[in-house]
Amino acid sequence: MKVCGVELKGNDAIICLIASENGLYDIPHLRVPRISIVNSGEADEMRKFQFAFSKLIEDYKIDKVVIKGRALKGKFSGGPVGFKLEAAIQLIEGLDVDVLSSTFIKNTLNKSQLEIDFRDTGLKQFQESAFTSAFAYLESLTQKKEPEPAFNPYGNE
Strands 97-100 and 24-26, bridge-based pairing: unpaired
- pLDDT above 50 (res 150): no
Q: What is the pTM of this model?
A: 0.85
- Report the topology of domain 2-143: Nucleotidyltransferase; domain 5 (3.30.420)
* Class of residue 36 by CB neighbours under 10 A (exposed 0-12, middle 13-18, buried 19+): middle
> Domain limits of the chain?
2-143
Q: For the residues of 66-80, what is the DSSP string, one character each? A: EEE--BSSSTTBPPH
Query: What percentage of the chain carries pLDDT values higher than 90?
Result: 68
Over range 122-145, report the average pLDDT.
Answer: 90
pLDDT single digits (tens) 62-105: 999 999 998 877 777 778 899 999 999 999 999 999 999 999 99
Rounded Cα gap, residues 3 and 43, in angstroms: 28
Q: Which residue, among 54, 4, 63, has the nearest Cα to 30 in the 3D structure?
A: 4
Rounded Cα gap, residues 14 and 33, in angstroms: 6
Rounded Cα gap, residues 115 and 89, in angstroms: 29
Name the DSSP letter for residue 130. Answer: H
Q: Which carries the bigger pLDDT value, residue 145 or residue 42?
A: 42
